[in-house]
Structure 1
Amino acid sequence: LQMVREFRSGDSETPLVLMGYFNPIHHYGVERFIAEAKEVGVDGLIVVDLPPEHNEDLCHPAQAAGLDFIRLTTPTTGDQRLPTVLEGSSGLVYYVSVAGVTGANAATLEHVEEAVARLRRHTDLPIGIGFGIRSAEHAAAVARLADGVVVGSALRMPK
């Protein structure tokens, strides 16, 4: 949260989403975390280990405070599960385009195109594609298929 505060001192426009796990937020205190995140300028949260069956633990309170709650979907998220995963999502849907760890495999454009079409049948939210994006050229190609591309391994801060 301190890093967000420092970043916001020089940039109040760039959307900022925190990604992490529920346990540190729970330990910190959900109400306290949400209040401080909102105060310092966080726009949204991705909490990778909090399933939609626990929306009341963080998703609903975060959204009530004006923070987006962004859900992850994967190649293994089936059509039966997808509406449950997307329920309560806001801001965007983050599609993890490859199974496994980041950087291990590349997402094929054919796979991404099929996944985006499937997701669009279930939601009107913008779709961001992450994981398996291996180069600037690959990111540009994926960006033509979705609404955004997440490239975490190549993050560079301006000097």
Structure 2
Amino acid sequence: MSQALQDRLVELGSTVATAESLTGGALAVRLTQLPGSSDVFLGGVVAYATEVKESVLGVPEQVVREHGVISGECAVAMASGVRDLLSATYGLSTTGVAGPEPQEGQPPGTVWIAVAGPEGVETRLLELEGDRTDVQSATCDEALSLLGGILRMEGSVLG
């Protein structure tokens, strides 16, 4: 997390929580690297298994059955679920295929991220290149970028 993003969250009195699958906790690590991150980061859930997505984050079984876990619908449910679970202002989620093998018919590098906040949920489909580490790192970059963009929009609306 950049200092500017952390400062913006503090300025808005906002908090964030994570629901991660393919990033395996790497997004939470990014959000806790700066001093003072405890003012804005509440915690996270690494929901690698589908059962954890459903039982802990509240991803509806119907979403998994109809869309799969590598879908915008799953990313939305994960972000909303962790936001509710931890009473955060924003929930960030990551789900997808880090590789090296395809999953659910999706090639490695297919990733969905979502940010759930007070104004709704925004998703983004990513088609990333590289090995597992590259895909995981780029996913974290994109998730933080999406959150930053939402915070900037919130600022312009408030301003």
Larger radius of gyration: 1
Q: TM-score, normalised by structure 1?
A: 0.31
Under a length normalisation based on structure 2, what TM-score does the superposition of the two structures give?
0.31
Select the structure that is richer in strand.
2
